[in-house]
A and B are shown apart, each in its own frame.
Chain A
Amino acid sequence: MEEYDAIVIGAGNGGITASAAMAQKGLNVLLLERHNIPGGCATSFCRGRFEFEVALHQLSGMGTVEKPGPLRMMLASLGVLDDLEFVEMSELYSIMMPDGFKLSLKPDKEEVIKELQDRFPHEKQAIEKFFDLSYKYANDMLSTFIFKDPAPSREKYPTMYEYAFKPASEVLDSLISDPLLKAVLSVYWGYVGLPPNRLAFPYLAMIFFTYIEFKPFHIKGGSQALSNVIINKFISHGGTVRFNCGAKEIKIENGKVKGVVTDDGEFIPARFVVSNASQVSTYVQLIDPQHVPGQVSREMRGRSLSSSAFSMFVGFDCEPDELGITEPTTFLLDNIDFGDRVINQMKKLDIDDQLLVLSCYDVSDPEFSPPGTCQANIVTLKYGEPWLSIPPAQYNKTKFRCAEAMLRRVEAIYPGVRGHIEEIEVATPLTHMRYLGHPNGSIYGFEQYTKDSMFFQPGRYSPIEGLYFASGWAGDCGFHPTLQAGLSAAKSIVRKLETE
């Protein structure tokens, strides 16, 4: 029987980079994936003549060839950079409201400030202050945690000490009085899953900083291209991947990982296991309860499940400009109250005036969809719970009802879009649950409150020896963080082997 140093469970972003990085270091790695394709969220599917992108909206951390960002460097270290083609997106984001309000921001600090100041002249100074503060915060963080200042102090990094644990809304409220401007500056909360009154200011600051400094990107061939390229690299390093084969159990003995039992009942020994599945599934479904240390259950108790999403993938029979879509990333804003009202809406089935994001990759990459067509990926955040209690017989009806409401919101901004629909597919929280295997269909792992940040949680580590986590459940979510999570898990294992 083949001997493996490590078994990776799940071929999502974290699982594939963990696999590729370990194989690159000469470890013999087995990657198990119960689906027939790698990627997890980072995938695509075909309908008619369209290939729909599932999850990637704006790739962060890439940077340019001249000024590479952390993700570009990471992909280079994995040896996959040259196998991929990246498309820089010309917009940070735009906002459209049914009353005709439209605003579009370029990924350039001076231009963002200027555009906002032109539109909100009464908030000129506040805008300046907000971006200064965000940049100061980001620079403090980088100096301390990336460049690892050996002697950080409050005197050197006052912004970090003051703002690290502050809610975004508190910062916005202290600087800005125009509620519309506050909403305009905080729509990126949708990329984290918590509205600004629950979201730590650092998220907002870091998102602006990274998207502006390293620019938002997309990938030719979509996120599936990224997944395929990394798997290909893994295989070329001698790695083994088994598709259509999930894990049934992680075997533990005396607090140490012994191996994995596959869905087919085969036991495969290994000293290390990297779980790309959630901690919930890993500890509750894959490990015999008697081997789960008490501290794990205690820690998990304090975490809550993030929202899932309701998404619509639409293929149109025309170019984006014919529909009035002129930006790659547009937030459709119908109500600027981002308070707890938002959470209540997310807990309901139906879609009314909540925030939607519409990504149209064809705007920045005209080859994305077939010639003369384009596609839009429209998403709103919804918790999974209400979907769990729908009687199965009512499921399709409910799905179409919610999709109809979403489509009407889109029509209010882009009149006449319905007449151009050629293909449409709808994904509910149950769809996300089906394909990701996450409890409640959560797309952002555990909720990202301040108490859930890396300072306070076990992240990739487990008290079970040999077990590591690599996913959005072990840290931040999004492409760059989850790809990084896999690399970090791989590093931990390689280091452990080297010190022996």
Chain B
Amino acid sequence: MKKNIFEDFDGYNDILEEIEHSRKYGINYSAERHSPAQFINRLHPPVLSLIVSDIIEETSSTKTLRLIPDDGYLPPFLAGQYVALTLEIGGIRTSRPYSISSPPNQTGFYDITVRRVDGGLVSNYLLDEVKKGDHLQSSGPAGHFYYNPLFHDKSMVCIAGGSGITPFMSMVNEIADCGIDRTVFLLYGNKNSGDVIFHEKFQAISDRFENIHYIPVIEEPPDDYDGSRGLITGDLIKEKIGNVDDKTFYLCGPQGMYDFCIPELVKLGIPDKKIREEVYGAPANICDYAGWPEDIKAETVFKVSVNGGRTLDARAGEPLITALEKKGVIVPSLCRSGECSMCRIRIISGKVFQPKGVPVRKSDRQFGYVHSCVSYPLDDLAIAL
């Protein structure tokens, strides 16, 4: 056999010796020691098996489900993060994200707090069908709506609307339980007094802790109501928090609240980067969005061909992922709000509507990849999963 030229390079024999030595005393790559999954699953398990250990009635339309782990272990999370429950309801497999309302220091369970949505497939199922002892499946904790010590202010202004209170329940309790040196101003808007979730709990915490300020705001209160009324306006915010410059603002609630509150904050001179918004699901009435083509009604049905095979029907007014799930086509999903990119699919032909501001990668846009949880058919489509 011909000699390789590198065998004549200076130091060749030393390298051979080194190789022999390293093979003799080297590393035994056994499966146990080097399986990445074993380490990663402690932080980011692909699936969590949970049991409903308790159901707590919060208001007439809201319940907290207390979830304990089937195998005794729950991964840690940051206050404000969510889990996505995977459910099969009436033969349809789907998932929904729910902020964890219990604090991270409470390591024995995750609470999720669910409010009834008119006609809501999942919320009604969780409120009416799920019983103590039932098994549920979820994702690991996820999401980017949390206090970031690297650049957020130690003074937090939390603005919540309706069921958007849940991540703040977790944040406020963690600060109170763990004696964390941060100040919270929690402005919590609801239509009626009866809708307010966790009212007594927040009241009790703010009575005990000087750094927790709880300001419920009722849009249509009874005449004798002596708290803040109306909407969460810039004036109200300014009055309650004082100096606006040393604070970071966190918003979680329905789209209408963002549409109203963010301009109010901007008017107060608060820069965009200090306003952190939690995603809150796909838009309810997509046809009302700017840019939606007038000639297409929500009920219009289009044909969607999947991976060059089967074809199914999809309504214009419904996110593509929902239409797929109804026909048993599963696309992995997490935030269901366009943010996490888990439900990325490719549109081979046909047009979809995507609301403005959905964070899709530049080159994904170029090649027709969309986030199917916030994409609405405007055409017959061919897609690839």
Contact = CB atoms under 8 A, between A and B. Distances in A.
B230 interface: no
Nearest to A151: B5
B244 to A, nearest CB: 16
13 contacts: A46-B341, A47-B144, A49-B359, A165-B11, A222-B363, A224-B363, A299-B23, A301-B27, A302-B19, A393-B76, A404-B150, A418-B150, A421-B273
Contacts of A430: 39-40, 43
Interface in A411-452: 418, 421-424, 426, 430, 433-434, 437-441, 449-451
Given A303-B22, A418-B151, A449-B18, 11 more contacts: A45-B341, A224-B361, A225-B366, A228-B367, A229-B367, A243-B344, A301-B27, A301-B29, A302-B19, A421-B273, A430-B40
Chain A: number of interface residues, binned into ranges: 35 or more
Given A161-B10, A166-B11, A422-B272, A36 B342 contact: yes
Given A166-B11, A396-B78, A439 B34 contact: yes
A36 B345 CA distance: 8
B9 A160 contact: yes
A163 to B, nearest CB: 8
For B12, B27, B341, the residue with the greatest tally of chain A CB atoms inside 10 Å of its CB is: B27
Given A222-B363, A396-B76, A455-B4, A434 B26 contact: no
B44 A434 contact: yes
A142 interface: no
Contacts of B15: 165, 450-451, 456
B362 A51 contact: yes
B225 interface: no
Interface in B113-134: none
Given A36-B332, A36-B341, A221-B366, A46 B360 contact: yes
A451 B149 CA distance: 44
B40 A37 contact: no
Interface string B322-365: 00000000001000000101111000000000000001111110
A450 B367 CA distance: 41
B181 interface: no
Contact of B26 (A51, A161, A304, A455): A304
Contact of A154 (B8, B75, B144, B360): B8
Nearest to A298: B23
A438 B150 contact: no
A224 to B, nearest CB: 5
B28 interface: yes
Contacts of B5: 144, 152
Contacts of B42: 392
B14 interface: yes
B18 A437 contact: no
A426 B150 CA distance: 10
A232 interface: yes
B108 interface: no
Contact of B362 (A164, A221, A451): A221
A166 B14 CA distance: 11
Nearest to A154: B8
A299 B28 CA distance: 11
A126 B5 CA distance: 30
A400 B8 contact: no
B144 A437 contact: no
A64 interface: no
Given A154-B8, A302-B19, A285 B35 contact: yes
A388 interface: yes
A434 B44 CA distance: 8
B290 interface: no
B179 interface: no
A165 B27 contact: no
